[in-house]
Structure 1
Amino acid sequence: MHELLLEIGLEEMPARFVLQSETQLKERVTTFLNEARITFDTIESFSTPRRLAVLVTGMSERQTDLEETLKGPAKRIAQDEDGNWTKAAQGFARGKGLTTDDLFLQEEKGVEYIFATRKESGQETATLLPGLKQIVEAMSFPKNMRWSTQSLRYMRPIRWMIALLDDQVIPFEVADVATGRTSRGHRFLGQDITILRPNAYVEALAGEHVIASYEQRRQLIEEQIQQLSEQEGFEVPIDPALLEEVTNLVEYPTALFGAFDEAYLELPEEVLITTMKEHQRYFPVKKDGTLLHYFVTVRNGNATHIENVARGNEKVIRARLADAQFFYEEDKKADIDAQAARLDKIVFHEKLGTTGEKVRRVREMALQLAERFNADSTKVERAGTIYKFDLVSQMVYEFTELQGMMGERYANMKGEDVEVAAAIREHYLPRFAGDESPSTPTGTVLAVLDKMDSVGGFFGVGMIPSGSADPYALRRQAQGIVQILSDRQIEMTLSELIDFVVSAQLKAGLYQADAETVKAAMEDFFNQRLKFRLSEKGYRHDVIEAALDPKLTVEANEKRASMLEQATQQPTFKKTVEQLSRVLNISKKAETVVAVNPALFENDAERDLHEQIEQLIPKVEAAVQASDYDQAIQVLESSVPAITAYFDGTMIMADDEAVRTNRLSEMKRFATAIEQVARFNALTLV
């Protein structure tokens, strides 16, 4: 059995890309081995800021032999009347690397086809592994660069590569870097090291102050922070995202702590925490929930001269906090309305005007919809005027992560209404998946319309997200809108909201495209976001398709999906779906819809179903109006026997045109009622 080691050595990678790149390399190597029919026992992946690696154990000596049965054209095409192989059969054989002598006939579902069995002996594993070169070259990253005279685009320049099969180097070259057996230790504490066999990799790196396992480094950092906490008697809340980033910044972690002047604790806590976490990658320190004038950081190295390292970090944070204190004091002197007026000098986007213009658009739209969002128009008008004023503050200019939060604080300091101040922060919510929605009506209406203005504006000038490209985070903003409408149970559909915003932006002269085209693109875009939300809640794909109706509120769509998901668990529901689907499917053939004339009925089944429909429609409408979809389902289920009898005894597509039109109109009328509950013919039940 073989062992394989592949290591790609790079300049320091951005921390946020390390783990996903490690996972990608492991997946690519796994796929390569599976497709090459090379079996193996385990595959481990490793990463540090300077390397990505995989270690495979228990690899087979050879590929598994291949034997597959290939299906060709039907006999009537493959053989002529005399039993000779036709050009179609000859072409099939030639295309598979075989001859007509390898062909044979076999029946499948009552039809004879030609088949062939292809056998291929497995090659030795060693002869296939130079193909790992394509894996290295095919790695994709969120951001790439070129270096020297290389045409290869990569996250960072490749500096060394190891490719070992047992004790032998697998020869290939990428970007003028040839594979070998030499790796590099810690940039300052280690040296180059020769890896003799793959299973020596982890231990050899550890000897040169490199801990190759992300999980081991993360665990070590957590343990060291815990030890510091116990020694010094304080608490260190560990932010998982910050821990991941710090783990991917170091190869040999050593935790330490430092202090800053207690006078800086007078700054707002969010300023202190943002300065430490976002700018310095420090862990803030607390005791009994109160922020202390200490911080914990992680050194990429050992404990030698750790006191000097602590002093250096203290010097850096001191300068940062001195700047923050100056910005804070200057901002407190500023007038909110004067700052809001300066938004006209900030370009939101060259095709969409200034931030000041955006604010005025959103304010006017918010005032028109205030009542729909149960918001006070006076508060909406004030908040809509100043909700982005902190963008021109010195604090937010330096610490953009604090936008909204500083605005709320400054507004409260200046005596603004509490809900108005909260709306300044809340209009950014939700900032990310899993974040909270705005809690106030004013914040809710501004959050929805500020995001809608961005989505509609960019769609209107043709800047629509495509593939993975979404530079203005329109998917996240649209997802936020869907979440808010659901969480706050806003009685406004996505279609209504889109119509409203498109109309307002059209009047503002923003669009370069036809309004109907923009509207259609936005509706499709938001439908995809709604589908994503329902999928995240765990609903099946066919349930989502059956429940989705953009003419309903987000809450109603979620209730419909919940109702269908539960109903599909009932054993009798399959019969209900089958019969309701028959109505929906046949109703599509109704080209002309007329008032149903009972005088044209020809049997009791028609009369019975007609009576059922007469009684059913108002009950369904009432249940839907009350958002009681469980009741609506029960009403529809009660009609199943009548539907079954109707289809068993009635030819809908009758020769008599009047009878046929009458029956199709009945089906269309019934289908309209059914579709108020769900599109049952989209469900797939076994």
Structure 2
Amino acid sequence: MSKDFLLEIGLEEMPAKYITASVKQLQERVEKWLAENDLEYKTTEVYSSPRRLSVIVKDLAEKQADRVEESKGPAKKIAKDADGNWSKAAQGFARGQGVDPETLEFREINGVEYIYLEKEVKGAATIDLLPEMRQIITSMTFPVSMHWAAYDLKYIRPIKWLIALFGDQVIPFEITNVTTGNETRGHRFLGGSVTVANPAEYEEALLSQFVVADAAKRKAAIVSQIEEIEAVENWKIPVDEDLLEEVNNLVEYPTVLHATFDEAYLELPEEVLITTMKEHQRYFPVVDEAGKLRPYFITVRNGNHEHLETVAKGNEKVLRARLSDADFFYQEDLKITIDEAVAKLNNIVFHEKLGTLTEKMIRVKKVALIIAEQLHMTDAQKVKIARAADIYKFDLVTNLVGEFPELQGIMGEKYALLQGEDAEVATAIREHYMPTSADGELPQSDIGALLAVADKLETLTGFFCVNIVPTGSADPFSLRRSALGIMRIIQAKNWDIKLLSVLADTVEIERAEGLNTIPSEEVFEQVELFLQNRLRAILSDQQIRHDIIDAVVSAGSNVVPELIERAELLNKNRDAEWFRPTMEALARVVNISKKHQGGEVIIDPSLFENDSEQQLFDAVQKLKQDYPTLIIVDRLRAFAALRTAIDAYFENTLVMSDDEAVRNNRLALLFELASFIKEFAQIEEINVK
């Protein structure tokens, strides 16, 4: 027998961006609990709105299945005395299991007989277990939480009501003086309280009180209504999925309507209009066939179709005020020259330990020009890089960016073009913020990408210089994102940047300004390790095996794309027939070469005692000659081609000869070969078992 089970947590309005993840967490916790308690069920369904997180367990068994438990007791020689009577140990075991000793049996395990008891355990009634839902509710975690009243519980929002209903039976428990029942609450303004007779009636009960509890149905209703307006008005309404998700979690009973704004505001940059509508008002913009904005917008009301004209006018009034402010800020910004704005940056502190934005920009300019030199950029490109570095933060002092921080860089590009700056310089101002997330869009222009790398590397190094580093999950200055961005940009551009060399120069630039609170060598090592860890994350995301990542990253490289290519190549060929014997041969060379005493490597062919020594020597000399010009894949092929010579060498040659001169000569040959292998990867770390 089975029944449906409903668990609803009624709350004050939750932040929209956390609702989807929270109801998923609730579902996962309930399913985990069901599995741990051996309770059979058909499926789980989740429901959510700004004021509720709910899960229904369909066809939940009314009791756990009966099961047989096996218990192992003492060995037979301990369980019975010489006369065959049960010992105190056996009697104690039986008493602990609640059975008569005469029911005990023996079972042989590895030649020794032990007491074994099979006992049937009746499954517990589900209704007796379900009060544990209280712990599921109170154990949930959220990105933001709060205390209320005098309760110790921290939660996303105060709990106002609870439903725990198994069939038509209420499961009793209490949280913060709120007791479970079978009554839910409808729309805050259009509905009221309603009794849920059983879980099957939950959706309909809420719908009668103007709540669409199924988030997927609510979202589908919004999209359907938008499409209907598109058809009637002959408009195009791009539906941003993130905005749709947020709006869907802001309403319980969605009604879509359209409104308008003054066409004169279309003179504002499109990004300003879109940001105002989407980010600040949660409106969907309307565009024409060419994708140009039209003076209309779509909004979603949390309510029914009554008084929609009044609602539209109210939204128009709010947007008009917003756009009026934006227009005022824009016009004021146009009165300021870029150089005037740049001058104001000297009054803005980037960080109390790292100086002003002006001082930061000076440091970034030096780093940018070092990178430009490494990339052999033209003098004309260097002029543009220098100009971009001189002004790239100027829009931070503009009125519009002050009001809409999300437009930083975007408005910088707009204003720069309006004031006659070079298009590549203007683009770099926008692109230097990229990527803005772990998988965000990368800068496309070379100058923008270079400025982004320089800015991020200087930021990273600066904070490490003053001993402000990420700890655990705390990373208030997004240094992990900066490091990951550096690696992703260099990889995407396939730039032959000697990154560690640039890092050393950057550390020196910071030191020259007296920013170091810890030794430069320590800063360099810490930032190098930090960058390596971000590189490991990139390689791991590409499903590259961890031992291969360790082997390649441990070998090090100044050139990021080359390092990534080596890891990808080794990972791609790991299952090839030749891979294992080649890696084993190379690892043997590296391991034995460690016995070399160091110093100058001198190999004397006159000391060779067999043909295999000469053949390996000739092969190593050819590798030494060809190696600098070989591409990565050909270097691996060259190593693979050496395997036969290496195997023959070890088969015919005793490296650790009693003759010191011969021994050192052989170690020198292996040491020279190992130097090329170790530059490619720490082969001995690769698991070929």
- Per the alignment, residue 49 of structure 1 pairs with 50
2:633 matches 1:630: yes
SS at match of 1:143: coil
Determine the C-alpha separation between the residues in 2 that align with 1:49 and 1:591. Answer: 71
- Per the alignment, residue 185 of structure 2 pairs with 184
8 Å CA contact 1:181, 1:194 repeated in 2: yes
- Per the alignment, residue 82 of structure 1 pairs with none
Q: After alignment, is 661-670 or 171-180 more displaced?
A: 661-670
Q: Aligned-pair distance for 1:295? A: 0.4
- Per the alignment, residue 465 of structure 1 pairs with 470
Q: Aligned-pair distance for 1:217? A: 1.6
Relative to 1, partners in 2 of residues 1:118 and 1:220: Cα closer, same or farther, differing over 3 Å?
Answer: farther
Identity level (%): 46
8 Å CA contact 1:547, 1:679 repeated in 2: yes
Q: After alignment, is 586-595 or 353-362 more displaced?
A: 586-595
1:565 to 560, 571, 578: 571
SS at match of 1:442: helix
1:453 to 450, 458, 477: 458
8 Å CA contact 1:619, 1:632 repeated in 2: no
| TM-score normalised by structure 1 residue count | 0.88
8 Å CA contact 1:71, 1:113 repeated in 2: no
Summarize the alignment of residues 579-594 of structure 1 with structure 2, pairs less than 5 Å apart: 579-588=585-594, 590=596, 592=598
Summarize the alignment of residues 201-280 of structure 1 with structure 2, pairs less than 5 Å apart: 201-280=202-281
Q: For residues 400-429 of structure 1, what are the alpha-carbon distances to aligned partners after superposition, in whole Å with 9 as ceiling and x for unaligned?
A: 111111111111111122222222112112
Q: Which amino acid aligns with 1:222?
A: V
SS at match of 1:558: helix
Q: Aligned-pair distance for 1:70? A: 10
SS at match of 2:454: helix
8 Å CA contact 2:578, 2:640 repeated in 1: no
Q: Which amino acid aligns with 1:272?
A: L
Q: Which amino acid aligns with 2:329?
A: F
1:678 to 676, 681, 685: 681
Q: State the number of aligned residues.
A: 664
- Per the alignment, residue 317 of structure 1 pairs with 319
- Per the alignment, residue 611 of structure 1 pairs with 618
8 Å CA contact 1:362, 1:453 repeated in 2: yes
SS at match of 1:464: coil
Relative to 1, partners in 2 of residues 1:354 and 1:150: Cα closer, same or farther, differing over 3 Å?
Answer: farther
2:154 matches 1:148: no
Relative to 1, partners in 2 of residues 1:681 and 1:57: Cα closer, same or farther, differing over 3 Å?
Answer: farther
Determine the C-alpha separation between the residues in 1 that align with 2:542 and 2:325. Answer: 44
Determine the C-alpha separation between the residues in 1 that align with 2:204 and 2:586. Answer: 66
- Per the alignment, residue 5 of structure 2 pairs with 4
Q: After alignment, is 604-613 or 143-152 more displaced?
A: 604-613
Determine the C-alpha separation between the residues in 1 that align with 2:70 and 2:617. Answer: 56
- Per the alignment, residue 287 of structure 1 pairs with 288
Q: Which amino acid aligns with 2:450?
A: V
Relative to 1, partners in 2 of residues 1:595 and 1:105: Cα closer, same or farther, differing over 3 Å?
Answer: farther
Q: For residues 239-295 of structure 1, what are the alpha-carbon distances to aligned partners after superposition, in whole Å with 9 as ceiling and x for unaligned?
A: 111111111111111111100011111111111111111110111100112210000
| TM-score normalised by structure 2 residue count | 0.88
8 Å CA contact 2:491, 2:560 repeated in 1: yes
Q: Which amino acid aligns with 1:567?
A: N
Relative to 1, partners in 2 of residues 1:642 and 1:126: Cα closer, same or farther, differing over 3 Å?
Answer: farther
8 Å CA contact 2:190, 2:210 repeated in 1: yes
Question: Which segments of 5 or more consecutive residues in structure 2 lack a partner in the other structure?
Answer: 79-88, 99-103
Q: Aligned-pair distance for 1:643? A: 2.6
Q: Aligned-pair distance for 1:399? A: 0.8
Relative to 1, partners in 2 of residues 1:585 and 1:70: Cα closer, same or farther, differing over 3 Å?
Answer: farther
Relative to 1, partners in 2 of residues 1:283 and 1:499: Cα closer, same or farther, differing over 3 Å?
Answer: same
- Per the alignment, residue 449 of structure 2 pairs with 444
Query: Considering only CA atoms, is the larger Rg found in Structure 1 or Structure 2?
Result: 2
Q: After alignment, is 612-621 or 28-37 more displaced?
A: 612-621
Q: Which amino acid aligns with 1:614?
A: Q
Relative to 1, partners in 2 of residues 1:543 and 1:335: Cα closer, same or farther, differing over 3 Å?
Answer: same
Q: For residues 659-684 of structure 1, what are the alpha-carbon distances to aligned partners after superposition, in whole Å with 9 as ceiling and x for unaligned?
A: 55554444333222123333333334
Summarize the alignment of residues 269-668 of structure 1 with structure 2, pairs less than 5 Å apart: 269-288=270-289, 289-373=291-375, 374=377, 376-548=381-553, 549-588=555-594, 590=596, 592=598, 595-598=602-605, 601=608, 603-623=610-630, 628-652=631-655, 661-668=664-671
Determine the C-alpha separation between the residues in 2 that align with 1:188 and 1:103. Answer: 71
8 Å CA contact 2:557, 2:563 repeated in 1: no
SS at match of 1:12: coil
Q: Which amino acid aligns with 1:510?
A: L
SS at match of 1:155: coil
Determine the C-alpha separation between the residues in 1 that align with 2:219 and 2:667. Answer: 67
Q: For residues 328-367 of structure 1, what are the alpha-carbon distances to aligned partners after superposition, in whole Å with 9 as ceiling and x for unaligned?
A: 1111011211111111222222222222221222123223
Q: After alignment, is 415-424 or 588-597 more displaced?
A: 588-597
8 Å CA contact 1:22, 1:46 repeated in 2: yes
Q: After alignment, is 457-466 or 382-391 more displaced?
A: 457-466
Question: Which segments of 5 or more consecutive residues in structure 1 lack a partner in the other structure?
Answer: 80-89
Q: Aligned-pair distance for 1:522? A: 1.7
8 Å CA contact 1:164, 1:170 repeated in 2: yes
SS at match of 1:639: helix
Q: Which amino acid aligns with 2:641?
A: S
Q: Aligned-pair distance for 1:13? A: 1.3
Q: Which amino acid aligns with 1:268?
A: P
Q: Aligned-pair distance for 1:605? A: 4.0
Relative to 1, partners in 2 of residues 1:454 and 1:417: Cα closer, same or farther, differing over 3 Å?
Answer: same
SS at match of 2:313: helix
Determine the C-alpha separation between the residues in 1 that align with 2:114 and 2:420. Answer: 85
Relative to 1, partners in 2 of residues 1:47 and 1:524: Cα closer, same or farther, differing over 3 Å?
Answer: farther
Relative to 1, partners in 2 of residues 1:668 and 1:200: Cα closer, same or farther, differing over 3 Å?
Answer: farther
Q: CA RMSD in A?
A: 3.3
Q: For residues 464-490 of structure 1, what are the alpha-carbon distances to aligned partners after superposition, in whole Å with 9 as ceiling and x for unaligned?
A: 223322222222222211111112222
Q: For residues 20-66 of structure 1, what are the alpha-carbon distances to aligned partners after superposition, in whole Å with 9 as ceiling and x for unaligned?
A: 11222222222222223323221222221111122212333444567
Q: For residues 125-165 of structure 1, what are the alpha-carbon distances to aligned partners after superposition, in whole Å with 9 as ceiling and x for unaligned?
A: 33333222222122111122211112222221122222222
Q: After alignment, is 589-598 or 440-449 more displaced?
A: 589-598
Q: For residues 285-332 of structure 1, what are the alpha-carbon distances to aligned partners after superposition, in whole Å with 9 as ceiling and x for unaligned?
A: 001122100001111111111111111100100111111111111110
SS at match of 2:464: helix
8 Å CA contact 1:427, 1:446 repeated in 2: yes
Q: After alignment, is 265-274 or 363-372 more displaced?
A: 363-372
Relative to 1, partners in 2 of residues 1:127 and 1:501: Cα closer, same or farther, differing over 3 Å?
Answer: farther
Determine the C-alpha separation between the residues in 2 that align with 1:120 and 1:544. Answer: 51
